[in-house]
Amino acid sequence: MEVTDNRLFDLIRENNELAFHEVYNRYWQKLLVVSSSILQDREAAQDVVQDVFIRIWIKRRELEIENVNAYLYQAVKLRCFEYLRRNKINQKLMDRINHILHVNDVEESLNLKETQGILQKSIQSIPAKSLVIFRMSRDDAMSHREIAEKMQISKKAVEYHITVSLKHLRKLLTESTILFLFYFF
């Protein structure tokens, strides 16, 4: 006789790792299919599903789940949309940086040097470890998992350091854009 999902979650709340592994094994592949169809990126999809299960284990005592199947699918969908929103913001930021760095107009190219100076100053203000991780992510196109393994830190720490770097750059872009508009208009 197979144990129900709800019974497994009761056992998970009691710190039963075998029950957790059973739920993981029952749902991993199905959730990966959903996540992959939304993200169109298998590695990111795996990260999202893994993150959902990590969160379940961390919050196991607090979870009140009536329909395990529905909960898991909804959690994966929400994490996918969070991932897409976060990456959309990151992509917009990188597009703005690329736009600033690839200006062709002569007058703007003079300002480009000033902007590059501000950008370099901002980059130098990023904490060293965050900068190394940010460059591994952007310049070397390494995944969060690859960076975590190489730096021997958690994926969450990698995400934190990239967020720190992006906040510095966002602040730079906001300030330099305001100064540019004020100066020229």
Tokens standing for 13? 């709340």
- Find, among 50, 48, 52, 63, the residue nearest to 12 by Cα: 63
Could you write out the DSSP letters of every residue in 62-125? T---S-HHHHHHHHHHHHHHHHHHHHHHHHHHHHHHHHHHT---HHHHHHHHHHHHHHHHHHHH
pLDDT for 179 beyond 80: no
- pLDDT mean across residues, the chain: 80
pLDDT per residue as tens digits for the range 43-70:
999 999 999 999 999 999 988 888 888 9
The predicted pLDDT at position 154 comes to 92
pLDDT for 32 beyond 90: yes
| Region 135-163 average pLDDT | 88
Q: Give the DSSP letter of residue 56.
A: H
Domains of the chain with bracketed CATH? 5-83 (1.10.1740.10), 103-184 (1.10.10.10)
pLDDT per residue as tens digits for the range 129-142:
888 888 888 778 88
Tokens standing for 19? 């029950």
> How far from 119 is each of 14, 16, 104, 110, 169, CA to CA, in Å?
51, 50, 18, 15, 8
Sequence-ordered list of residues with C-beta below 8 angstroms from that of 163, at least 6 positions apart, any chain: none
